[in-house]
Amino acid sequence: PVPTPAPAPAPVSAVSAPAQPETGEKKVFALGRKILDFFMPSAAPEGETQDGSASAAESVPAASSSQPAGAAPPVLPSDPSAPAVVPPRVKEDEGAAVAPPVTAYDGSSAAVPPQVRTEETETPVAPPPAAAAENANRPAPVIREFAREKDRYDNQQPRAEEKGNPRPGPSAAGSGIQCAQYELPSVFLLTKQTEVKKEDQSHIEASRDKIQNTLESFNVDGHVSEIIVGPRVTRFEVTLAPGVKVEKVTGIQGNISMDLAAETIRILAPIPGKTAVGIEVPNKESSVVCLRDLMESAVWKESRAQIPIILGRDIAGEVIVTDLAKAPHLLIAGSTGSGKSVCMNTLIMSLLFRFSPEDLRLIMVDPKVVELEMYRPIPHLITPVVNDPKKVPLALRWGVNEMERRYRVMAKVHAKKLSDFNTRPPDPAPVLDEEGEVIPPKLPLLIIIIDELADIMMTEAKGDVETSICRIAQKGRAAGIHLVIATQTPRKDIITGLIKANLPTKIAFKVSSNMDSRVILDLSGAEKLLGSGDMLFKPNGAAGMERIQGSLVTDPEIQKVVDFVKDQVEQNFVSQVVAENVEVKGSVGDDDGDDGAYAATRSAREERFGNRDDDEYDLSNDPEYESPAAKYLQPGDSDLIRKALEIIITEQKASTSYLQRRLGIGYNKSAELMDELEKRGIISAPLPGGQKREILITDGLEEKE
């Protein structure tokens, strides 16, 4: 029998929905093909690309099939809901320039009056007139949908190879999350800046004249050579005559501040990279730096940073984007109300706008409970937000183990760092890790964010926290693990020397004293900041600092972004992150590392004494415990007394402040230990004249040796 021929496929209607939902590039091409088929059915085969879709240039339909050859196609009808097309235009700034050149900040780019420059405006292109009958026959819904998808594709999700934006891949190897249909947030979720305040020109000229008069009053031979107006401060650059010391300018800082009637001024003597001294004066009118304006800038869109983080605008109004991969760890400190929390939110938003959950996993530590609570629903979290300070050492311990595991996995495929691991060619045969699992083709970045370090460092686990932070900071970069640590208590007992040395990139907001600034930056200056986002940024390896006005992101904006990402992918937690029975494994290549020995010792203790705190252990009854202080311990002594005895015996130093620093405890607790040791005859009473206490025992050290 002759087979019945298959029925011809039904023609595709210009307004019909696609067979299955599509997103991104495929959806744009599909919609463009529909429009092309509707207006130019004969030209559709010639306009197909290699993948069978209409090219972007041919997605714009002609007005009619009878249009003359070579004529430009008409512009599609504009949609009120779609973003307006923004053409560049040329304008000339008004107003006369002052004697030195003034660089004025206008919220979008730096302007040097009087100059002609090109800037973006919000003037939409008016569509050409068309007959009402022609518009009635056009598939308006499809055209509007095409315009929206095309704009989303072109502006909001730039290509990875062009914009440095890691595009989500089809698999979630190593992250446990499937993100094939994941869509990055749009900048339209953020609020656009509507008003830009500019510093009054007459006020700038008056400040310049006052600075010049003050220099002449103190016989400082110099003149104001340039003025740069920023969002929050104006920098007056003073060029000195040959032979004039810069110390003459810094010596009259108080007089300059008094003559200007300024709240505070900051002097850079000299400005790094320039032959001038900078005098930074607060603006009378401050301008707000919004996050959306920064994300719409070319600096952000075209950034090729591996982990781009938006900071804000510098004193010249330029957008500042740093690379966390090069940092590779970040320390943020500042007093209450200085802008530290907003900076943390800006950092997290930068990550959410660039990475899918398969490319990035987060561990968030928030002892204050309320700072990072808004991010609890996001799918990027590898564990729920950690609020209990007692669980922080567990999370950091898991981070150390994950770092070591990644090194062992990368060694299996001969990759030196995470970027080499993720871009390696496909394995010819499955490669198994030490647990017999197939090594995935890709591992996500892991960023550990700690909002308040002080609450954690004041617990009894301070030593474990400090050790884990230092280990991750020393080796985490190549494994794709990065730390972001913030605190509003920049003291030496919180930001210890080890922590500060291993977190090379630092951001300092306004602090209360010169000493706090030196704890953060090793330099003074943060005490002279204005607050509310005014920061000093010290990159890794840089000798100087950069003054930046941080961007502002509000809670409603954050909530919109969180709602957008949380509905796309379900959360997938790793229960071992805060598991109490996780032991720290030795480093790669260590047969019997110190960490493994410590874990084994602790397990043995728990078998003998139960799962209790260290202070509950009766160490004098432990037959396997050997210590130079063992003979001086009494039944019921805590581990803290043992450690204090060991320090005094082995190091032959006995003072309240020394024990406080070595044990990481408060002054009152350290004083109680000293009084107890004095009662036992271990140390002498305080000697007159402020002399150091004498150590009355020495045989412990001799027996140990």
Confidence class of residue 91 from pLDDT cuts 50, 70 and 90? very low
State whether 348 and 438 are in the same domain: yes
Looking at the domain assignment, is residue 11 inside a domain?
A: no
State whether 545 and 675 are in the same domain: no
| Token representation of residue 341 | 């929390």
CATH code at position 676: 1.10.10.10
Higher pLDDT, 472 or 4: 472
pLDDT in tens, 625-644: 456 677 778 887 888 888 88
The phi, psi pair for 574, rounded to 5°, reads -105, 115
Query: How many C-alpha atoms does 628 have within 13 Å on its Cβ side?
Result: 20
Q: Considering its fold, how many domains does the chain have in total?
A: 5
Confidence class of residue 38 from pLDDT cuts 50, 70 and 90? low
Q: Is 52 left (phi over 0), alpha (psi -120 to 50) or beta?
A: left
Looking at the domain assignment, is residue 101 inside a domain?
A: yes
How many angstroms separate the CA atoms of 390 and 394, rounded?
Answer: 8
pLDDT at 170: 33
State whether 143 and 213 are in the same domain: no
pLDDT at 592: 35
pLDDT at 185: 94
Looking at the domain assignment, is residue 6 inside a domain?
A: no
State whether 265 and 345 are in the same domain: no
State whether 494 and 364 are in the same domain: yes
- Cis bond before residue 114 (omega within 30° of 0): yes
pLDDT at 387: 92
pLDDT in tens, 270-308: 888 889 999 999 998 888 899 999 999 999 999 999 999
Mean pLDDT of 526-549: 90
Task: Indicate whether 64 pLDDT > 60.
Answer: no
Of 577, 592, 627, which residue constitutes the final position of a domain? 577
Task: Indicate whether 595 pLDDT > 60.
Answer: no
State whether 303 and 208 are in the same domain: no
State whether 556 and 588 are in the same domain: no
How many angstroms separate the CA atoms of 633 and 655, rounded?
Answer: 19
Q: Report which of 20, 36, 120 is spatially closest to residue 73, judged by C-alpha positions.
A: 36
pLDDT at 59: 42
Q: What is the largest CA-CA distance in the chain?
A: 120
The phi, psi pair for 630, rounded to 5°, reads -60, -40
Q: What percent of the chain has pLDDT over 70?
A: 66
Confidence class of residue 193 from pLDDT cuts 50, 70 and 90? confident
Secondary element (H or E) of residue 34: helix 24-39
- Beta strands 308-314; 319-323: pairing state: antiparallel
User: How far is residue 121 from each of residues 77, 90, 108, 198, 453, measured CA to CA in Å?
Assistant: 20, 10, 11, 18, 44
Residue that the structure tokens 């409603």 belong to: 556
How many angstroms separate the CA atoms of 469 and 496, rounded?
Answer: 11
- Segments forming the whole domain that contains residue 596: 581-611
pLDDT in tens, 641-652: 888 888 888 777
SS (H, E, C) 122-157: CCCCCCCCCCHHHHHHCCHHHHHHHHHHHHHHHHHC
pLDDT in tens, 331-385: 999 998 899 999 999 999 999 999 999 999 999 999 988 899 999 999 999 999 9
Mean pLDDT of 162-170: 35
pLDDT at 626: 53
State whether 632 and 554 are in the same domain: no
Looking at the domain assignment, is residue 18 inside a domain?
A: no
pLDDT at 363: 96
Task: Indicate whether 703 pLDDT > 50.
Answer: no
Looking at the domain assignment, is residue 641 inside a domain?
A: yes
**Length of the chain as a residue count:** 705
pLDDT at 78: 44
| Inter-residue contact 670 to 663 (CB < 8 Å) | yes
List the alpha helices (DSSP H) in 152-268: 160-163, 201-217, 247-251, 253-260
Higher pLDDT, 395 or 601: 395
The phi, psi pair for 552, rounded to 5°, reads -110, 130
Task: Indicate whether 443 pLDDT > 50.
Answer: yes
Q: What percent of the chain has pLDDT over 90?
A: 40
Confidence class of residue 699 from pLDDT cuts 50, 70 and 90? low
pLDDT in tens, 167-182: 333 333 355 566 778 8
Average pLDDT, the chain: 76
Q: Report which of 362, 330, 338, 335 is spatially closest to residue 348, judged by C-alpha positions.
A: 362
Beta sheet of 319-323, edge-to-edge order: 319-323, 308-314, 546-550, 534-538, 505-508, 330-333, 481-487, 445-450, 360-365
- For the entire predicted model, the pTM comes to 0.62
State whether 468 and 489 are in the same domain: yes
Residue that the structure tokens 């004697």 belong to: 99
Mean pLDDT of 645-664: 81
| Token representation of residue 536 | 């000093």
Strand blocks (E) in 406-544: 445-450, 481-487, 505-508, 534-538
The phi, psi pair for 328, rounded to 5°, reads -90, 0
pLDDT in tens, 666-694: 877 888 888 888 888 888 888 765 667 88
Mean pLDDT of 441-445: 93
The residues with which 226 forms a beta bridge, in sequence order, are: 237
Of 119, 141, 156, which residue constitutes the final position of a domain? 156
State whether 342 and 398 are in the same domain: yes
How many angstroms separate the CA atoms of 333 and 522, rounded?
Answer: 13
Mean pLDDT of 537-555: 91
Mean pLDDT of 310-319: 93
Task: Indicate whether 444 pLDDT > 70.
Answer: yes
Please measure the distance between the N-terminal and C-terminal CA atoms of the chain and give it in whole angstroms. 104
DSSP states of 554-584 as a string? -HHHHHHHHHHHHTTS-----GGGG-TT--P
Query: How many C-alpha atoms does 104 have within 13 Å on its Cβ side?
Result: 23
Looking at the domain assignment, is residue 1 inside a domain?
A: no
pLDDT at 177: 63
Task: Indicate whether 602 pLDDT > 70.
Answer: no
CATH code at position 222: 3.30.980.40
pLDDT at 660: 82
| Inter-residue contact 550 to 321 (CB < 8 Å) | no
| Token representation of residue 553 | 């992101």
How many angstroms separate the CA atoms of 71 and 533, rounded?
Answer: 54
Secondary element (H or E) of residue 330: strand 330-333
